[in-house]
Structure 1
């Protein structure tokens, strides 16, 4: 198949009607290239929002060879919106705290919502439970296995975004590309975001739209908040992976090898 054909196939696969933020961690179309010129391997890890899937989309994901699904949502989120089963895939639960939606209801400014979001991103680094969950996810992807891994949270943007950023960093992708990939959520999830903001306007009032919009977007500042927390506690991402997540160099080497073509 030609390179153009590969790109067309990749685009077809990521644009799922019932999971609009589903995409290959290696790149939504053609594979990203690491800073040393090595392309990433597609089909190793996929990221998504919650799997409220149509039958057709569940079949599409099964066809990608996904053997393990890692759900990063809280137990309450899972209970409220359980994933649709994907044939051939084993479901795993790794609980990571997300946006405190009840807290948002009592906020009145974008600035207050922004600080809530920043606290969420700091928790990915500072919370022992979050570190344990991300460590388990990365260890799994590092395993030598034939199947692909799919991981997700609710919107597929914060918890999932941090996990994807870590994988791309380990693969050697440049920081600016990691950021660009992280920000793609704002494009991929635009229709879903507008739908929910319409519900906010209808049920909570127009003055709440700006507050909730902050929580439904990703921003460079949010990702930087997590990176600043990494710097404060571990010096850099290498220290966070080693000391924060407890990943040995052998594990990171296996992970790097799996992610790179």
Structure 2
């Protein structure tokens, strides 16, 4: 996968890096290939961390034709760090429960942190509210007319699972899906900001504990996948019965990502 420099824009594939949203990127990457060798359409779906945008970056997103912004964060997160408006885009709240920070504050070891994260990912599949939110997101994507953006706080977990689902539905090979999910770890601005806060307020010894919460880890995706198998048997049934996305809607989602 290509990772452009901070100021580089590939106008053909719309690869864009934003200074004020370090994990903003195209869901389709630079045109990921499906298993059949078809390149995904870029410039249709974007993902990000929280939109604490500079004016220039807000207008850069608007220039990509984004008409919908889906905020997956909880109400407390939104109140603390409300999105900066993207000109021409409609903001939607589609809440998925994220990392329980009160629980995280009590963690004493990296192992405990990893256990919490696996539980968070299982909840993406097991919790009715999360299933309803992801189903709503897919239905809105299916029926959209214009580019769309979805995000959470770090653009890592709730956003990461949504991107995993979209790429899998589009038929992208699993190796590419995994590489795309892990790419979050290469965009470290947000993580470094919070690590610095932890170091300052909680001490150096807490940094390794919290790093497990701040990194994308394939073990976490595996926990969600295990929940899919246990509850629904396979991805197709999870999408149809768990998310309430029928086959026709699913086909429209995939059609938006394919040429």
For the superposition of Structure 1 and Structure 2, which TM-score range results when normalised by the shorter chain? over 0.9
**Unmatched tracts of structure 1, length 5 or more:** 1-5
Q: Write out the 4+ residue segments of structure 1 that deviate beyond 2 Å after TM superposition.
A: 6-14
Q: Distance in 1 between matches of 2:38 and 2:241?
A: 27
Q: Distance in 1 between matches of 2:13 and 2:97?
A: 31
What TM-score results when the alignment is normalised by the length of structure 2?
Answer: 0.94
Any residues of structure 2 matched to 1:173-192 within 5 Å, and which?
A: 173-188=172-187, 190-192=188-190
8 Å contact kept, 1:19–1:51: yes
For the pair 1:76 / 2:76, whether they are aligned, the reply is yes
The corresponding residue for 1:241 is 239
2:256 alignment partner, one of 249, 255, 258: 258
Any residues of structure 2 matched to 1:1-261 within 5 Å, and which?
A: 8-9=10-11, 13-27=15-29, 30-145=30-145, 147-188=146-187, 190-261=188-259
Q: Deviations over 1:120-142 (max 9, x none)?
A: 00000001100010001111111
Question: Could you tell me how far 1:8 is from its partner in structure 2?
Answer: 2.8
8 Å contact kept, 1:13–1:60: no
**Unmatched tracts of structure 2, length 5 or more:** 1-7
CA-based RMSD of the aligned residues comes to: 1.5
8 Å contact kept, 2:13–2:43: no
Question: Could you tell me how far 1:191 is from its partner in structure 2?
Answer: 2.8
What TM-score results when the alignment is normalised by the length of structure 1?
Answer: 0.93
Question: Could you tell me how far 1:12 is from its partner in structure 2?
Answer: 7.5
Q: Distance in 1 between matches of 2:38 and 2:14?
A: 24
The corresponding residue for 1:3 is none
